[in-house]
Structure formats: structure tokens, C-alpha cells
């Protein structure tokens, strides 16, 4: 008997860029297939052979034009969503060191980027990520 192969899980890595008690969020364009018209952490798919941190660095450069210091990255949370072929695993990281000024380098993906204080963080595309983000921001304040 041949067992069907389980579909490959999509792996996504995201970053919470935090500076001066604020986090940078991106607003997903209304025409996006997945999670349109919501605020989210910037990030994207992990490519075959990439580590999470390598993918994180690549995605932050592609989407925001910054070079993150991966040694400053602190793992925030991991969560799963969807089922079967739509199954996705998200890994979020807190980053407080980077070179460059964040800008919307992917206007086809995001129609806005904005800094938020913990009490201003809007509902995120993945609602369970919001509380973990806010708690981490409050715990890392000087």
C-alpha cells in the first residue's frame, strides 16, 4: 500500500523591527490573495536551503531596504495556520539592530508602513501574534 505524501508546509519568517519603544508594521495591499488589507509584520517565505535568519535578512532587505543584524534577533513566537496544502508555519523574530532607514521597498505587497507603540498596535493578520509582540515590546523597553 502506497501512502500519500503529505503536502509541503509553507514556512514564513517575519520580523518585528523595534526602535525607541515602537514597532514597524506593514499594511498588506487590498489586492493581496492572502490576508488582504490588514496590518502585519514584514516578512516572507523561507526558500529551500535557507535558515530562518538568512531568510529574515533577505526579506527585510527586499521589503524594507534594510540590513538587519541577525545577532540581535530574538525569537518571538512560532504558530501554525491552515490545513493541508494551505498549511503555513510562521516564525516571528524581534530585531532591534539594522543599517539603513526602513522604506516601503515592496509597494506591490504593502501600501503603507508605519511605526506603532505597544498600545497602538492594530489587530494583525495573525491575531495570536499581536499579544506576543506587545508583551515582548513591553519586556524589552529600557
For 138, phi then psi, to 5°, come to: -65, -35
**What letter would DSSP give residue 124?**
B
In the block, cell 515592496 appears at 106
Distances (CA, A) of 57 to 15, 44, 80, 122: 9, 11, 22, 25
Residues 6+ apart with CB under 8 A from 113: 24, 25, 26, 27, 42, 64, 102, 103, 104
Judge whether 107 lies within some domain.
yes
Q: Is residue 32 part of a domain?
A: yes
Count how many domains the chain has: 1
Q: What DSSP designation does 20 have?
A: T
Q: What pLDDT score does 8 carry?
A: 62
pTM: 0.85
State mean pLDDT over 136-142: 70
Residue 99 lies in a domain: yes
Instruction: Identify which has the larger pLDDT, 24 or 130.
Output: 24
Residue 141 has pLDDT above 60, yes or no: no
What pLDDT score does 37 carry? 87
| Whole-number Å distance between alpha carbons of 44 and 60 | 9
In a domain, 50, yes or no: yes
* Rounded distance between C-alpha atoms, residue 135 and residue 139, angstroms: 6
Please write the tens of the pLDDT for every residue from 2-46: 434 444 678 989 999 999 999 999 999 888 887 788 899 999 999
Mean pLDDT of the 133-140 span: 82
Position 125 confidence tier, pLDDT thresholds 50, 70, 90: confident
The CATH number linked to 28 is: 3.90.79.10
pLDDT per residue over 41-97, tens digit each? 999 999 999 999 999 999 999 999 999 999 989 998 887 776 666 677 889 999 999
More confident residue, 114 or 86: 114
Given a cut of 70, is residue 137 above it in pLDDT?
A: yes
- Is residue 1 one of the residues assigned to a domain? no
Domain containing 67 equals 10-137
Count CA atoms within 13 Å of residue 28 on its CB side: 19
In a domain, 3, yes or no: no
Domain assignment present for residue 2? The answer is: no
Cβ pair 136, 76 in contact under 8 A: yes
Asked, for residue 4, whether it belongs to a domain, the answer is no
Considering only CA atoms, which of 136, 55, 60 is closest in space to residue 98?
A: 60
Amino acid at each position: 500500500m502506497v501512502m500519500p505524501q503529505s503536502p509541503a508546509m509553507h514556512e514564513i519568517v517575519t520580523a518585528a523591527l523595534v526602535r525607541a519603544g515602537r514597532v514597524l508594521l506593514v499594511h498588506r495591499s487590498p489586492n493581496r490573495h492572502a490576508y488582504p488589507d490588514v496590518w502585519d509584520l514584514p516578512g516572507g517565505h523561507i526558500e529551500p536551503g535557507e535558515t530562518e535568519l538568512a531568510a529574515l535578512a533577505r526579506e527585510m532587505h527586499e521589503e524594507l531596504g534594510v540590513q538587519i543584524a541577525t545577532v540581535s534577533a530574538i525569537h518571538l513566537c512560532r504558530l501554525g495556520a491552515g490545513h493541508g496544502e494551505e498549511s503555513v508555519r510562521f516564525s516571528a523574530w524581534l530585531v532591534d539592530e539594522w543599517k539603513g532607514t526602513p522604506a516601503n521597498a515592496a509597494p506591490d505587497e504593502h501600501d503603507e508602513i508605519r511605526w506603532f507603540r505597544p498600545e497602538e498596535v492594530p489587530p494583525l493578520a495573525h491575531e495570536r501574534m499581536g499579544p506576543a509582540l506587545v508583551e515582548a515590546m513591553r519586556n524589552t523597553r529600557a
